[in-house]
Amino acid sequence: MASKPSIPKGTRDFSPTEVAKRQYIIQIIKSNFEKFGFQPIETPSFENSETLMGKYGEEGDRLIFKILNSGEYVSKFNDTLVEFIRFSIIYHKDYLKKKNESFDMKDYDFLYKKNLATYLKSKNLYIFKDATVSEIELLDDVFYFILKRLKKDDLLSKADSEFDDFVKIIFADFYYELKYKYLTSYISEKALRYDLTVPFARYVVQHQNEIEFPFKRYQIQPVWRADRPQKGRFREFFQCDADVVGSKSLWQEVELVQLYDTVFTALGLNAVTIKINNRKILSGIAEVIGASDKLIDFTVALDKLDKIGEDGVKKEMMEKGISEEAILKVQPLFSFTGTISEKITQLSVLLSESEEGMKGVEELRFICENVIKLGLSNSILDLDVTLARGLNYYTGAIFEVAPPKSVAMGSIGGGGRYDDLTGIFGLKNMSGVGISFGLDRIYLVVEELNLFPETVTATSKALFINYGDKEAFYALQAIQKLRASGIKVEFYPDNTKVAKQFQHADKRGIPYAVIIGEQEMASNSYLLKNLITGEQVSLNFENLRNALS
């Protein structure tokens, strides 16, 4: 019986129309990347696990898709664990009989540290030596497999109470050790990339001797996250990134704001809001209120101001251990309004006693004032002190782009300054700044606002009707010349009923049909039919080409 076709949750198929629309957006983003001097690179769809793990925080690590090693790694590893626990069980029961004593941790320590290690080494099962620290979600499946095997051999049912305790301890102990130290490196050494930023940092370090700095790169490729799918959020999606590394100049931030504005203007998206903040300002506020050790708790709560209101934010801050006195000091943030210039003035007063905070204020002042002087076409620049994305890696400016207010959608872009991202791979003091465009969400916004030009999804200009082999050969000669002129035309491959061929053209949205019979071949002409109006006209080849151009 044939299985019902399906695709993994959080992934999608794209129709020809959808692909054409996606390519339209990508082409606009790509062309503007290149106008601003960014060069394209590509990196593999999967990286070594150690490249990705530990770079996105605990939550991010859980969302990374791991790839099982090919071959018999998994089964061999399972067999290894079965052997390991089988020996542990048999050895311990024998040990207890010889000693005629109850089980205690001393027995376990002795067994684990000396005899068991020796046994595993002798059996070539000493697989834990020098393993990479990592974690995996398949642990439950692995231990289920082991228990099933042990039950099959009827080892567990023979256990006495001490033996039961031993099994529980050894399972608990090795569950932890395998989860945090060994298992991934043995059965999964690779993972699908989570974003384009960390692979880019790896690329820069690996190719640093070939790169001319400052290095401006763009990258348009898919990424994967084991996230919960919802509107505008998928497990497989494209990111469109532009980054500059090797320069601390704030003019880069100014240009990135302009890049956002240029792209969204080209897409017809008016009144897009480019929000900006600075990590140093958030750190400065936390310092001023005496809550530097609770920076993340403070900013996470503040970020919810538009969702849960002032009272909700204050309540959450107090629940996280931030004092009422500290909350009183940030009262101005709850009514933070005015022009960008006025907001910067308010921040200068609030952060006057924080050196870090004042650095952030001056950086924001420089970026915002120059963006305003240079001007934006259609976008709105807004200083948003509640913006707190990417605090694990951003060190300066933080960006987030909101769609027009008429569309209910999350952010359609974001980015920021990172002072030492390449440091995680050994290359220190390589400051960078970058932004990303959310292709899938941008698509949904452009679609909802009906901003895709009709020409984006235009199909072939004409369908040549098939009346037989002689007519087909005559038609394909003309088709060859038309295609050489850049005109999209096609030929119906089957000599079937003419009505069916016209129906095919109608369903495909092809506006013209070219009819060739004996009369047309004899007069070296073509009958062009407008499938919308029904009008027909006989043309020579040059006039046919002009009509279809």
Which domain-ending residue is among 187, 222, 256? 187
Residue type at 547 in one-letter notation: A
Provide the pLDDT for residue 128.
Answer: 37
105 against 286, higher pLDDT: 286
Q: Is position 393 annotated in a ligand binding site?
A: yes
Residue 150 confidence (pLDDT)? 47
The average pLDDT across 81-87 equals: 57
For the chain, the average pLDDT equals 82
Query: Of 34-43, 66-75, 102-111, 231-240, where does mean pLDDT reach its minimum?
Result: 102-111
The residue out of 378, 402, 426 marking a domain boundary is 402
Q: Report, in angstroms and rounded to the nearest whole number, the Rg of the chain calculated over CA atoms.
A: 32
Count of structural domains, the chain: 4
252 known member of a binding site? no
* Residue range 254-271, pLDDT digits in tens: 999 999 999 999 999 999
Where is pLDDT greater, at 327 or 107? Answer: 327
Q: Are residue 368 and residue 477 in the same domain, yes or no?
A: no
> Are 94 and 241 in a shared domain?
no
Strands (E), 49-150: 66-67
Which DSSP helix (H) or strand (E) runs through 484?
A: helix 469-484
CATH of the domain at 244: 3.30.930.10
131: in domain: yes
Whether residue 452 is found in the same domain as residue 351:
no
For β-strands 512-515 and 462-464, DSSP reports them as parallel
Question: Any binding-site annotation on 394?
Answer: yes
Instruction: Render pLDDT for 474-486 as a digit per residue (tens, 0 to 9).
Output: 999 999 999 999 9
Q: Residue 196 annotated as binding? A: yes
Annotated binding residue 512:
no
Q: Is residue 302 part of a domain?
A: yes
- Indicate if 180 and 117 belong to the same structural domain: yes
Answer yes or no: do 19 and 80 share one domain: no
Is 243 annotated as belonging to a binding site? yes
Locate tokens 């590893």: which residue? 77
SS3 category, 28: helix
Q: Domain for residue 3, yes or no?
A: no
What percentage of the chain exceeds 70 in pLDDT? Answer: 78
Q: In whole angstroms, what is the distance from residue 251 CA to residue 70 CA?
A: 47
Domain hosting 15: range is 10-56+190-272+407-457
Both tokens assigned to 237: 């999606």
Query: Where do runs of H (alpha helix) occur along 320-401?
Result: 324-329, 340-350, 355-374
Indicate whether 156 pLDDT > 90: no
The residues, ordered by sequence, that sit 6+ positions from 19 with a Cβ below 8 Å of its Cβ are none
For residues 410-421, average pLDDT: 91
User: What's the pLDDT score for residue 351?
Assistant: 92
283: buried, middle or exposed (CB in 10 Å: 19+, 13-18, 0-12)?
buried
Within-domain flag for 52: yes
Asked whether residue 5 is assigned to any structural domain, the reply reads no
Residue 411 lies in a domain: yes
pLDDT at 186 over 60: no
More confident residue, 417 or 332: 417
- Give the contacts of 289 (CB within 8 A, at least 6 positions apart): 298, 322, 326, 327, 329, 330
Residue 274 has pLDDT above 50, yes or no: yes
Highest mean pLDDT among 70-74, 368-372, 416-420: 368-372
328 annotated binding-site participant: no
Judge whether 252 lies within some domain. yes
Q: What is the pTM of this model?
A: 0.78
Greatest pairwise CA separation for the chain in angstroms: 109
| b/e map 338-350, b = 16+ CB within 10 Å | eebeebbebbeeb
